[in-house]
């Protein structure tokens, strides 16, 4: 995540100027009468203009994707792909790079969720002096770029003996995501009525049990949002794997873009295969949009509008 | 609500299981049969997997009690990663040491050659020049790694078919190059005269090759004698190089081609000459290709910078010094030499080495090889680069070629950067 | 207020302290290792001349900082970061907003449009930047080849080696990644109250006026999210430049990320210098966070 150009939504920080909302609708299924947004296109001419603009912008956006695919067939056509399957680049099957990214994403998410939920609970539902100061101190690191921590993290990873270990990459990723996670969960926690907690406490429940049985289940949408974002960021993270991994067995998808170009690209056959491997590296993102889009947009909404 | 416990737990378990399986990727070193496994690390061109694999195979057949596990890292990543891994105590038993600033950076991790079991014998198997060069890489002049081979840069590989069709001779001077470029233009097939890597470090190489024709001492002065970067010779050499672009001999449209694209373009017959380091010279076996020097004002002035490109060292922390030293010997003066020398990866540092009979089959190949040997054995100056500095000044070289900086300013800027002492 | 109640309250406060400490301890551990220790380590290293192997340090006092402040490229990198952030913010607030709104109106082939607009932001950024780098190559790049093929060869440019064009190319990459802002807008649009839309319709407002004058102001909090996210994100950027222009030509497209990355990976004795630069960047990042905290806080007080 360290390198994504988009930081997570900070909406929850902000007050909502909105009135009561209608029930949220799911993206992807919105019959005419169900979708108020449909009304805003008032004339047929406007509709054509909108289609025109969308198509033009769509073509602009699609051009690099087209370039990627076109390049991947240069030289030896489909054989570029076939030889990739039969003879993996640098002994690393592309599927393995997804698996590596995915596993790192899971660990990354596990740390972020565990730490953000506990901290979010403490900062929103526990009373102690210096709470706001502690919160500010934690959020202070929201904008820290991973590149500024390269030198020390290299040293830390060395000391912890975590080179070529999923944990070695997942931990610094988590450290950089946690400020956001805490922000999200604390703002979420502030919207959980204190009365719920008080009632449970009166029943003799400990804070730990309130956290586990009440806070966590309620926080589910925010947690799901966080997990999904962690997964995306791990898939995109180039910085940490490139610095901390040398073993080809743990190469991640983002890292493969550069390590493949190092290992290939010296002969025409390799050049074609390299371009084909780039296309394959984009496949998980395509699957994500096709099958997971609804999920992530819902996650964002739940996370950012539950105020 | 169901989510929090069941699937949360499952996720955590799955994650943990995968972490554990990831951790166990290491592998055993010595097994019950007394076979020692040594880890050999190198970058992709030194001499590259295709060449290394058969060497390892032959070595293992000869030494059944040793197994070699080869790790290859891309050249750009190799320097930081190998240095980091040494610092991290990674199991590395044989390490390719890149001459230049990097050798000094890792020397503290290396076992002096004198302490190798076969160190003293090995030392006498190399030419004196290469031993001197190797010693010069290390802070106190102690030999920490053995020289393996030398390369030079920049040289041109030309496509004899394209030149034949044009009816021009392989170009060696500025004028001959211009003739070739004009002929290509007139031919109208869209074949580029020259492609070469536009990476900053290579543009520095190309510029320094041109500077070396003006002042052969320039680079050694800077490197070893605290000489200045912003000399008249540098400015003149850079201007000569730029002139090649200005008068249409070279094409600025090639200045955004990366290494891979430049070489692929040449392989596909879309460019007549490819400039690169001599480590790409093995291409003469893959087509009707020959070798020419970087163009100079006159053929006698043609030169390049050459020097050790590959050395082999043994990390002090390795617990398998003996097996490692055996492999280094095999690779640097033993039967392994024929393998990489025949692929023209470099000129062997081994005393009195000759290519095996029959490697060079055509006249063009023999002639090209001779050109290469002549150039590399009598270089204008050492090719003992300063890594990051090379990138820095190389970026300026491109600015000059593209007309957004003057040669004088580039020289001054390089001098200022040199004085920061960062390199 | 009875005395008993007061004591319970007091008691509760004290016990919360301990509980809070326990709840915060995982965070404290990871912060201690990855932030506190890092900062101390950066401070130490920034006054040394040292290589990546971290051996044989030479104490050089504040020389590294002096070098840094006289290096025009560093200033250029920070400026570029701000410019790229500014450009991507303005595109996200206009084009991104427009795309999100129109796609929420239930146009046909919506899924395909979402795929095209969101895909770039979900791919590894190294991949996106690599594609741009190869696509924009002057001789064999797909863009120039396409232009030549359709008879527009005169429009073919040296995209990556002309300073202005290279700058624009990198800006384009930043804009190409506006997928997440589109997602924020999409998400918040689905929760938009319909009453004001209906009122505007009754007034006879046209499509584009509704978008501009009704919906746009209603999405204020989303706009702020987008602005902050892109501003903060620009300082975290690396691959966008590393894999397309690598900062060139010259230092035209250098950003903080590539600046730090290249000095860390140089293989020479530049680690102390990189640490000094990191320290400065860290300070800038903390200041941005402070400003952000300040603004969001004062907003709350208004309510």
| Probe site for chain B from C161, C162, C242, C263 (most B CB atoms < 10 A) | C161
**Partners of chain C (3+ Cβ pairs below 8 A):** A, B
Residue pLDDT, tens place only, A178-218: 998 998 899 888 888 888 888 888 888 889 999 999 999 99
Name B381's bridge partners: B305
Assigned CATH class of B153-305+385-419: alpha beta
Average pLDDT score over chain A: 80
Query: What is the Cα–Cα distance from A154 to B245, expressed in whole angstroms?
Result: 43
Structural domain boundaries in chain A: 83-305
Superfamily classification of domain A83-305? MetI-like (1.10.3720.10)
Mean pLDDT of A141-164: 90
Query: What is the Cα–Cα distance from B365 to B291, expressed in whole angstroms?
Result: 8
**Contact at CB, C267 and B80, closer than 8 angstroms:** yes
Residue pLDDT, tens place only, B156-187: 999 999 999 999 999 999 999 999 999 999 99
C222 pLDDT tier (thresholds 50, 70, 90): confident
**Contact at CB, C236 and A4, closer than 8 angstroms:** yes
Chain A residues whose CB is inside 8 A of the C12 CB are 127
A18 pLDDT tier (thresholds 50, 70, 90): very low
CATH code: domain B32-151+308-348 is 3.40.190.10
Q: Which of residues 163-222 of C touch B (CB under 8 A)?
A: 163
Higher pLDDT, A78 or C93: C93
Dihedral sign computed on CA atoms, order A109, A114, A119, A121: positive
Characterize the bridge pairing of strands B271-277 and B145-159: antiparallel
Helical residues (DSSP H) of C136-203, grouped into ranges: 142-149, 163-176, 179-189, 195-202
Chain C residues whose CB is inside 8 A of the B396 CB are 250
> To which residue do tokens 């950003």 refer?
C255
Return the residue of B nearest to A274 by Cα: B260
Determine the Cα angle at C158 with ends C155 and C162, to 5°.
120
Q: Which of residues 77-106 of C touch A (CB under 8 A)?
A: 88, 95, 98-99, 101-106
- Residue A214 CA: distances (Å) to CA of A127, A251, C8, C25: 18, 40, 23, 21
Chain A residues whose CB is inside 8 A of the C17 CB are 128-129
Structural domain boundaries in chain C: 3-45, 73-302
Percent of chain C exceeding pLDDT 90 equals 42
Give residue A11's pLDDT: 37
Among B270, B391, B398, beta carbon nearest to C249: B398
Give residue B12's pLDDT: 45
Mean pLDDT of A250-263: 80
Beta strand segments in chain C, E? 48-49, 58-59
| Probe site for chain B from C45, C46, C52 (most B CB atoms < 10 A) | C52
- Assign 3-class secondary structure to chain A: CCCCCCCCCCHHHCCCCCCCCCCCCCCCCCCHHHCHHHHHCCCHHHHHHHHHHHHHHHHHHHHHHHHHHHHHCCCCCCHHHHHHHHCCHHHCCHHHHHHHHHHHHHHHHHHHHHHHHHHHHHHHHCCCCCHHHHHHHHHHHHHCCHHHHHHHHHHHHHHHCCCCCHHHHHHHHHHHHHHHHHHHHHHHHHCCCHHHHHHHHHCCCCHHHHHHHHHHHHCHHHHHHHHHHHHHHHHHCCHHHHHHCCCHHHCCHHHHHHHHHHHCCCCHHHHHHHHHHHHHHHHHHHHHHHHHHHHHHHHHHHHHHCC
Give residue A13's pLDDT: 32
| Probe site for chain B from A262, A267, A295, A298 (most B CB atoms < 10 A) | A262
**Contact at CB, B15 and A258, closer than 8 angstroms:** no
Chain B residues whose CB is inside 8 A of the C132 CB are none
Q: Is the pTM of this model over 0.95?
A: no
Give residue B8's pLDDT: 44
Residue pLDDT, tens place only, C3-16: 444 444 444 445 58
The neighbour count for residue B245, using CB atoms within 10 Å, is: 18
Mean pLDDT of C174-195: 86
Touching check for A265 and chain B: CB below 8 Å?
Answer: yes
Characterize the bridge pairing of strands B145-159 and B289-293: antiparallel
- CB–CB of B330/B59 below 8 Å? yes
Give residue A296's pLDDT: 62
Residue pLDDT, tens place only, A54-85: 999 999 999 999 999 988 888 778 888 888 77
Among A157, A167, A262, beta carbon nearest to B75: A262
Give residue B421's pLDDT: 66
**Contact at CB, C138 and B256, closer than 8 angstroms:** yes
- CB–CB of B166/B357 below 8 Å? no
Return the residue of C nearest to A282 by Cα: C123
CATH code: domain C73-302 is 1.10.3720.10
Which residues in chain B land under pLDDT 70?
1-32, 385-387, 421-423
For the cut 80, the answer to whether the pLDDT of residue C254 exceeds it is: yes
Distance of CA B72 to the CA centre of its chain: 14
Give which of C236, C122, B9 is closest to A228, Cα–Cα.
C122
Touching check for B370 and chain C: CB below 8 Å?
Answer: no
Return the residue of C nearest to A140 by Cα: C289
Query: What is the Cα–Cα distance from A159 to A172, expressed in whole angstroms?
Result: 14
Give residue B385's pLDDT: 67
Determine the Cα angle at C89 with ends C87 and C95, to 5°.
95
Mean pLDDT of A236-246: 89
Write out the two tokens for A57: 């912008």
Write out the two tokens for A261: 């170009």
Q: Which of residues 24-53 of A touch B (CB under 8 A)?
A: none
Give residue B386's pLDDT: 63
Structural domain boundaries in chain B: 32-151+308-348, 153-305+385-419
Touching check for A242 and chain B: CB below 8 Å?
Answer: yes
Domains B32-151+308-348 and B153-305+385-419 fall in the same CATH topology:
yes
Mean pLDDT of A220-244: 87
Higher pLDDT, B5 or C60: C60
Chain B residues whose CB is inside 8 A of the C246 CB are 200
Percent of chain A exceeding pLDDT 90 equals 32
Q: State the ipTM, two decimals.
A: 0.85
Touching check for B200 and chain C: CB below 8 Å?
Answer: yes
For the cut 50, the answer to whether the pLDDT of residue C243 exceeds it is: yes
Chain C residues whose CB is inside 8 A of the B83 CB are 51-53, 267
Percent of chain A exceeding pLDDT 70 equals 80
């Amino acid at each position: 995540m360290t390198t994504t150009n988009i930081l997570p939504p900070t909406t929850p920080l902000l007050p909502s100027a909105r009135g009561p909302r209608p029930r949220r609708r799911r993206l992807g299924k919105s019959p005419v009468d169900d979708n108020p947004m449909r009304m805003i296109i008032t004339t047929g001419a406007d509709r054509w203009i909108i289609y025109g603009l969308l198509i033009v912008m769509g073509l602009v956006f699609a051009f690099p994707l087209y370039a990627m695919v076109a390049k991947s067939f240069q030289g030896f056509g489909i054989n570029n792909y076939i030889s990739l399957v039969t003879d993996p680049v640098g002994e690393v099957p592309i599927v393995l790079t997804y698996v590596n990214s995915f596993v790192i994403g899971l660990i990354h998410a596990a740390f972020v969720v565990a730490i953000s939920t506990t901290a979010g609970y403490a900062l929103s539902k526990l009373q102690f002096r210096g709470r706001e100061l502690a919160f500010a101190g934690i959020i202070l690191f929201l904008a820290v770029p991973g590149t500024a921590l390269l030198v020390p993290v290299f040293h830390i990873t060395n000391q912890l003996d975590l080179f070529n270990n999923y944990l070695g990459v997942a931990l610094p990723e988590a450290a950089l995501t946690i400020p956001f996670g805490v922000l999200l969960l604390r703002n979420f926690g502030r919207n959980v009525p204190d009365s719920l907690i008080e009632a449970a406490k009166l029943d003799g429940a400990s804070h730990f049990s309130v956290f586990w049985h009440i806070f966590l289940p309620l926080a589910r949408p925010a947690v799901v949002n966080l997990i999904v974002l962690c997964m995306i960021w791990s898939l995109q993270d180039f910085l940490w794997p490139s610095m901390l991994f040398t073993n080809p067995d743990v190469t991640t998808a983002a890292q493969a873009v550069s390590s493949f170009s190092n290992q290939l690209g010296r002969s025409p056959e390799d050049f074609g295969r390299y371009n084909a491997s780039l296309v394959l590296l984009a496949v998980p993102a395509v699957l994500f949009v096709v099958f997971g889009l609804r999920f992530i947009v819902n996650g964002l909404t739940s996370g950012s509008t539950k105020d | 609500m169901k989510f929090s416990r069941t699937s949360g737990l499952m996720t955590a378990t799955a994650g943990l299981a995968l972490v554990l399986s990831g951790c166990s990727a290491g592998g055993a070193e010595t097994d019950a049969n007394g076979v020692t496994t040594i880890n050999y690390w190198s970058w992709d061109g030194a001499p590259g997997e295709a060449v290394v694999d058969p060497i390892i195979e032959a070595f293992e057949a000869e030494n059944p009690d040793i197994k070699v596990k080869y790790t290859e890292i891309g050249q750009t990543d190799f320097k930081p990663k190998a240095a980091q891994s040494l610092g991290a105590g990674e199991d590395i038993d044989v390490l390719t040491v890149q001459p230049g600033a990097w050798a000094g950076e890792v020397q503290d991790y290396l076992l002096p050659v004198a302490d190798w079991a076969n160190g003293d014998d090995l030392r006498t198997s190399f030419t004196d020049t290469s031993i001197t060069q190797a010693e010069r890489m290390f802070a106190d002049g102690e030999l920490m790694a053995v020289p393996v081979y030398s390369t030079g840069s920049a040289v041109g590989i030309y496509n004899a078919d394209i030149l034949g069709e044009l009816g021009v001779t392989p170009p060696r001077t500025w004028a001959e190059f211009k003739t070739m470029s004009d002929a290509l233009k007139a031919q109208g097939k869209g074949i580029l005269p020259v492609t070469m890597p536009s990476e900053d470090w290579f543009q520095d190489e190309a510029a320094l090759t041109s500077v070396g024709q003006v002042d052969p001492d320039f680079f050694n002065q800077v490197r070893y004698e605290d000489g200045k970067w912003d000399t008249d010779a540098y400015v003149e050499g850079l201007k000569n190089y730029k002139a090649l672009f200005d008068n249409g001999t070279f094409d600025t449209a090639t200045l955004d081609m990366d290494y891979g694209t430049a070489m692929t373009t040449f392989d596909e017959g879309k460019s007549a000459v490819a400039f690169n380091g001599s480590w790409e010279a093995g291409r003469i076996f893959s087509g009707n290709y020959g070798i020419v020097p970087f163009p100079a004002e006159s053929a006698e002035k043609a030169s390049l910078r050459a020097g050790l490109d590959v050395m082999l060292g043994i990390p002090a922390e390795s617990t398998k010094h003996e097996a490692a030293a055996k492999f280094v010997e095999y690779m640097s003066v033993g039967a392994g030499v024929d393998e990489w020398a025949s692929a023209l990866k470099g000129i062997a540092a081994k005393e009195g080495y000759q290519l095996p009979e029959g490697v060079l089959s055509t006249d063009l190949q023999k002639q090209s090889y001779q050109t290469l040997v002549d150039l590399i054995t009598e270089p204008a100056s050492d090719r003992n680069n300063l890594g990051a500095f090379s990138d820095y000044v190389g970026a300026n070289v491109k600015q000059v070629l593209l007309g957004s900086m003057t040669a004088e300013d580039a020289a001054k800027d390089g001098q200022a950067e040199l004085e920061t002492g960062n390199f | 207020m009875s005395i008993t109640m007061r004591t319970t309250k007091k008691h509760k406060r004290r016990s919360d302290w301990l509980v809070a400490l326990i709840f915060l301890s995982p965070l404290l551990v990871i912060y201690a290792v990855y932030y506190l220790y890092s900062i101390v380590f950066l401070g130490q290293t920034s006054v040394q001349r040292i290589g990546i192997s971290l051996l044989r340090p030479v104490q050089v006092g504040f020389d590294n900082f002096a070098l840094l402040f006289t290096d025009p490229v560093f200033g250029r990198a920070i400026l570029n970061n701000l410019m790229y952030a500014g450009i991507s913010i303005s595109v996200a607030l206009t084009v991104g907003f427009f795309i999100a709104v129109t796609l929420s109106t239930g146009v046909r082939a919506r899924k395909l449009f979402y795929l095209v607009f969101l895909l770039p932001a979900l791919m590894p950024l190294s991949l996106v930047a690599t594609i741009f780098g190869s696509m924009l190559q002057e001789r064999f790049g797909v863009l120039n080849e396409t232009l030549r093929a359709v008879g527009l060869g005169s429009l073919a440019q040296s995209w990556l080696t002309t300073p202005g064009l290279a700058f624009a190319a990198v800006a384009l990459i930043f804009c190409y990644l506006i997928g997440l802002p589109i997602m924020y807008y999409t998400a918040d649009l689905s929760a938009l109250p319909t009453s004001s839309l209906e009122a505007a319709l009754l007034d006879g407002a046209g499509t584009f006026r509704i978008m501009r004058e009704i919906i746009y102001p209603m999405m204020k909090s989303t706009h702020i999210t987008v602005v902050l996210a892109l501003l903060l994100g620009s300082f975290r950027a690396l691959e966008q430049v590393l894999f397309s222009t690598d900062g060139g030509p010259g230092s035209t497209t250098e950003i903080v990320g590539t600046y730090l990355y290249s000095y860390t990976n140089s293989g020479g004795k530049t680690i102390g210098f990189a640490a000094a630069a990191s320290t400065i960047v860290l300070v800038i990042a903390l200041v941005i966070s402070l400003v952000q905290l300040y603004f969001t806080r004062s907003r709350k007080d208004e309510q």
